[in-house]
Structure 1
C-alpha cells in the first residue's frame, strides 16, 4: 500500500496581486472569483474598539458579500462558512498548495482505485454527535445530492464504511487524488440529520459557532469551547457584508475592520504610507474570463468569437482594470501555476488586424459609422459586469468598439446576470472560477455540456472526446497532457475569452497577528493563531 504524502506542490509563481471580485470561487471561485455581488452597503465606517482604547474582544471581517443561508449545500454558503472558521472538510489545502488532513487523520492509497481514510475519533459536531463514518458518509451524500457545485468532486467517489472511523473510497478513475477532491469547501462535513435553516439547529464542527445571522448582512460567531483542535483566543468574530467598494475601503482605513476582503485595485493608492493597515496580495489561481452566450446568432460563428479574443488588448486591460496587479493570459488554465506555459498560447499577441480579417470573413463589414453590419443588422455585444469589474467592462467596450463592434456594458448586481442567464437574454458576462484542482473536475465543470459553469452552452465534439479521455487517464502526466489539449482546444473555439488572473487584495489591520496569506484567501481568513492587540 502506498501512503499518501499529501504534497501536491503548486509553486505559486504568478506575479499576481489584487482584489477578488468574488469566484469566483469563486472564484473562487464559487465562482471563486466570482462570488456574486451583494446588496447595498451596510452602513458607514466607524471607529474601532481599539481606537477608543478598549481591549479588543472581537475580530471584524468585511467582505463584498456574505452568505444568504446557513445550509452548506446552498450556493456559495460553504465557502463563507469555511472562511470564518465555522465549517471544515476532511482535508484542507495549505498556503503552499499542500493537501493536509483536517477532520481526517490520514489517507492511504490501497490500489489504483481504492483509498482508505482514517477519521479522528475525537471530533464532534457542536451537538456532541460523533463525526464517525456514518455521519461523514451521510454528509457527503447529502452534498452530492443537493449541491451542484459539490458534484464534480464527489460523483466519481463511492464511499463505504469499513469500521466506525475508517472509510473506504472507490474511484472510477485510477489514481484519482481523493484527498484533494475532499479538501474543497463544497465538501464541508455537516450533520445531515440536523436542520441547517437557523442558528439553533445547524450542526457543524468548526472552532467558532454561529450565534447571530442576518442573511447577506452580518454573521456573529463565538468560540466553540468543545472544539477538537487548537482553540482560537479571540472571543468573537463578526463577518459583515459591505458591497459598496469605497465603504469597504473606509472601513479598513478607519480601523473599524481588521480584515477587509475584495479591496478594489482602483483604491490601492489610498493605503499608501498607511502604517495601521497593510495590503495582502497573494497570487490567485483563477482566471478573469468573459463567458459568451453561444445561443446568440452573432456569437455562433467561431470567427466572431476568435475576433473578440484577438481584439482584446490584455496588456492594456491589466493596466486599466487591474492597476497593473496581474499578468495577461490567453487561456483559461494559465492562472494555474502548473499550466503557466499556456499563458500566451493560441492568441500570441494583441492583433486587431487579425480580428478585423476574421470579422470580414464572417460577413460583418464595417460601414461609414464605424460599426460592422451583416444583413442590415449591427454586430452587437452586451457585456454584463458586476462588483469591481466595471472598469474592465468599459475598457473592453472601448477596444471592441475600435473593431467595429457595437459594444454595451451593463453593470449591476450579480443577480441580474443570473436572471439574464435563466432567460437566455445575454451576450457576454465576466467571472473568474478557480483553475486549481483535479483537472477533470475543473475542466468538465467549465466545458462539458452539463458543466456548472458552462454558461454559454458550449458543446464541442472534440472537447467532449478529450474530456472523456481525461476522465479515464490513469497517471498525472497523461492528465496534464490531456488538460493542455483541452485548454488549447477551448481557446481556439473561444466559448470564453481569458484575460488575466483575477487580482485579490485584502487589507489587514496591523493590530491583527497571525493572518495567513493564501492563494484561496476567500476561504482562508480565520485560523486559531489569530490574536488582536490594542493600538
Structure 2
C-alpha cells in the first residue's frame, strides 16, 4: 500500500528545488527530473514506511522479485521465471548477473531473507499483512528461492510484487529497525541509486549503471517535499518542479489550466473511508457507528475532496478490485443514506441517546483537515461532538501507526494490485490491528480471520461469496464507513512525458524527457 494509503510529511519553509537558471548543460537539465511531493520520504525501506512518498522512492531504487504489468498482471523482474508445483509452493528462478548498485551480487539468500523478514517481530514491518501467508522462504541454490505458504493464497504473487523489495541480507539483519533511515540508508539493484537522503532536504537519485534492465531515460531525479498545496502548484507552473502526483483533486481546475503543464487523471486503486475505533468508548456501540454513518454527508465530502474526480464508495474495496472480482455486478449490502432522522433513531437505540464528546486528533498539514471539520459539523447535528485536535504531521502519523488515540480517523489508502486479498486482511485482520498495522478500527475476530483465509485460498464463485460475506459484515457492523473512490492525477511539465496508470509501481521510472 502503498498505503494511500497513505502519510507522514515534513514541511519545508521554502522551495529547495533547482531553478531554471542553475548551472549545467541543457542536456543535463533535460534528463534531470525534479519531483515535488506533499510529504517527505521518511524511509527507503517498505518495512519501516509503507506510504506514498516513501514507496515513490523505494520502487525506483529497490528491485522486486516480480512486478505488475499495465493490466495488473504479474510479470518477471529479478525472478525471470517461477513454477507453482502445488498450492503451497512457489519456486522462483532468479536472473543471472543481477547486482546491487555497489557491485555486489544479488543472491538467493538475499532474496529469501528479504521476504521472510516481514514476518519477524523484531523488524515490526508495516508490510507484514502482505506476507502473513508465507511460512518459509529459503534459498535452495545460488539462483533459486523456494517459498512455502502456510495456506493457499491467490493474492500471493500480486501482493509480493509490492512487498518483496530485495535488500542485502547482511545489511538488513544488522539493522532490523532502522534499515532505510537517513543514517543507515539502503542498497538496491533497481534502475536508480541513492546519492543523497535527508529528511529536510529530500532525496537525490542517479541512474544505476549496473542495472540489469533497460537503461533509464532519466540520469538524475531530485525529490523534494513542498507541503503547502498552492506553493507546490506554483512551483510546477513556474518550472521549478517538473512533476508531481500530489494534486488535490478538488483543485484540479487550477492545474489543468496551466499552459506548460499536462495534468491527467487515471483510476486509482484506492478506498477513502472513516475508521471508527470499535474498542474505544461510545464507538463500541454498533448503533453509534450506524448513527455516524447516516449523519455523514458523503456527497458533500466527495465534492469537497475530489472536485468531480471521484465517486461514492459503498463497499470497502477499491473500484478496480471490485471490477476485477465482480465485473459490473457488485454485491448489494446495507447502505447508509445521509438521513439525520435515521441517524438520530440509531443513536436513540444506543447507550448514548443524548450524544457524547469524543477527542479526535487529525493531521494539521493534511488535505483531510477540511474534511474532518465537515464530518464534525455533520455529527454535531445529532449531538455527537468531535473535539478536533490539530497535531503536527509527523507526530500524528507516528501515533496513528502506534494505534494511539484512534477514535475517528479519515483515511485514504492507495493499493497496488487488482486483488481484494491485498486490502481486506490489511484493514480487518487481527494481525493488522497491532501497532504498525493498518487496521485502525481494531475490528476482528476468529471467524473473520478464518473467512479472510478463505478469501486467499478460494477461486471463482466461491471466492466471490467469501469476499461478499466479509463486505456484508463490514457494512452491518460499520468499523469503517466507505466514502469515495478517486481518480488520481499526475502533473508533468511538457518537457516530460510518462506512462503512469493504475498499476504503475515505479512512478519515477515511468517518466522520461519528451521525445525520448
Q: Structure 1, unaligned stretches of length 5 or more?
A: 1-24, 366-371
Counterparts of 1:300-315 in structure 2 under 5 Å?
300-315=284-299
**Among 272, 296, 302, the residue aligned to 1:318:** 302
The answer to whether 1:507 aligns with 2:491 is: yes
Counterpart position of 1:394:
373
Matched, 1:449 2:430: yes
Matched-pair contact (CA < 8 Å) for 2:8–2:40: no
Alignment of 1:434-513 (within 5 A): 434=414, 436=417, 438-451=419-432, 452-460=437-445, 462-470=447-455, 473-513=457-497
- TM-score, normalising length: structure 1: 0.83
Tell me, yes or no, if structure 1 residue 38 matches structure 2 residue 14: no
Paired residues for 1:348-387 under 5 Å: 349-365=337-353, 372-373=354-355, 378-380=356-358, 382=360, 384-385=362-363, 387=366
**Residues 1:66 and 2:45 are matched in the alignment:** no
Secondary structure, in 3 states, of the residue corresponding to 1:109?
strand
Q: Contact between 1:42 and 1:217, CA under 8 Å: does it hold in 2? A: no
Q: 2:253 aligns with which of 269, 280, 286?
A: 269
Query: What is the CA–CA distance in structure 2 between the aligned matches of 1:499 and 1:198, rounded to whole Å?
Result: 36
Of 496, 501, 507, the match for 1:518: 501
Distance in 1 separating the partners of 2:510 and 2:485: 30
Find the aligned partners of 1:116 and 1:459 in 2 and give their Cα distance.
33
Please give the alpha-carbon distance, in whole angstroms, between the structure 2 residues aligned to 1:229 and 1:518. Answer: 21
- What's the offset of the Cα at 1:408? 3.8
Contact 2:80 / 2:94 at 8 angstroms: preserved in 1? yes
CA RMSD of aligned residues (A): 3.0
What does 1:141-180 align with in structure 2 at a 5 Å threshold? 141-145=116-120, 146-157=123-134, 158-174=136-152, 176-180=154-158
Q: Distance in 2 between matches of 1:183 and 1:397?
A: 39
Does structure 2 retain, via aligned residues, the 8 Å contact 1:114–1:171? yes
- Match status 1:82 vs 2:58: yes
Q: In the aligned structure 1, how far is the partner of 2:500 from the partner of 2:489? A: 10
Taking structure 1 as reference, are residues 310 and 51 closer, same or farther at Cα in structure 2, changes over 3 Å only? farther
Cα distance per residue 1:373-404 (max 9 Å; x no partner):
4xxxx354636355111222222222222233
Runs of 4+ in 1 over 6 A off after TM superposition: 50-53
Residue 493 of structure 1 deviates from its aligned partner by: 0.7
Alignment partners' CA distance in 2, 1:267 and 1:50: 30
Q: Tell whether the 8 Å contact from 2:357 to 2:387 is kept in structure 1 after alignment.
A: no
Match runs of 1:98-247 below 5 Å: 98-145=73-120, 146-157=123-134, 158-174=136-152, 176-184=154-162, 186-194=163-171, 196=179, 202-247=186-231
Is contact 1:118–1:166 with CA below 8 Å preserved after alignment?
yes
Normalised to the residue count of structure 2, the TM-score between the two structures is 0.86
Which of the numbers 387, 407, 430 marks the counterpart of 2:410? 430
Pair 1:302–1:198, CA change in 2 (3 A): closer
Which residue is 1:91 aligned to? 66
Deviation of the 1:44 alpha carbon: 6.9
When residues 424 and 69 of structure 1 are mapped into structure 2, their CA distance, relative to the original with a 3 A threshold, is closer
Residue 533 of structure 1 deviates from its aligned partner by 6.9
Q: How far did 1:144 drift?
A: 3.4
1:293 and 1:457 in contact (8 A); partners too: yes
Among residues 229, 235, 253, which one is paired with 1:251 in the alignment?
235
Q: CA deviation at 1:70?
A: 3.5
Please give the per-residue CA displacement for 1:463-493, whole angstroms capped at 9, x wherever unaligned: 344234435x343432332112112201211
Whole-Å separation in 2 of the counterparts to 1:528 and 1:419: 31
How far apart, CA to CA, are the structure 2 residues paired with 1:161 and 1:301? 49
| Count of aligned positions | 491
Secondary structure at 1:290's aligned position in 2? strand
